[in-house]
Structure 1
């Protein structure tokens, strides 16, 4: 997956775009994550990025980048369909890794704490607030 494609995916968009993206991510994140968890080498970071993206204290541009990356992650058919076992998540991993690198420092300890709690808890939605 080339840098230009990843750059296009990670465009933060305006507030209206981010609201639509957030609704899609909130709806599909946990089911997609549960099916991918064994194939994600950095699951804790992905969940922390999710909590950072839905945190209203996170700067708008950062939220937009994370919501774009997570929106790509939850799409059932993207550049490489996720149904193709591990290979299907390689493009998702590239996009998420790039997004986390771009917003380095904005994922706070509270986001990691929420991620740790969620990874221990079956009812992940209890942490969406």
Structure 2
């Protein structure tokens, strides 16, 4: 099928959606290869989204960014050198957007988890 503009429609095989279980699996699996900085930012977003005062729009931003991080086949596949570059860009954008909801308590919770994984 061809559209009015003469282009074929794009077929998307996988839906981009967030799963808390998949998040923890990905974070634990990727902790060493993705690096502390990226994992720290992912944890900030995760814990910020769990705050009761975080509005729905902010949670949607978090879950979209974390869903992208979880996605195994994204713009730059994670298994190649530099494969987390695109993930870091998406996560950094979400962190900047949600800066007001990433308080010291959120950072402390993330730090506790990081200390367990990275020492």
1:61-76 equivalent positions in 2, closer than 5 A? 61-76=57-72
**Cα separation, 2, equivalents of 1:65 and 1:88:** 22
Alignment match, 1:82: 78
| Residue 109 of structure 2: aligned partner | 114
The unaligned stretches of length 5 or more in structure 2 are 1-15
Give the whole-Å Cα distance in 1 for the aligned partners of 2:113 and 2:36: 17
- Cα deviation, residue 90, structure 1: 0.8
The answer on 1:48 being equivalent to 2:44 is yes
Aligned residues: 100
Structure 1 pair 55–21 and aligned structure 2 pair: CA distance change class (3 A): farther
Gaps of 5+ in 1: 1-19, 123-129
Q: TM-score, normalised by structure 2?
A: 0.71
What is the CA RMSD across the aligned residues, in angstroms?
2.1
TM-score calculated relative to the size of structure 1: 0.66
Larger helix proportion, structure 1 or 2?
Answer: 1
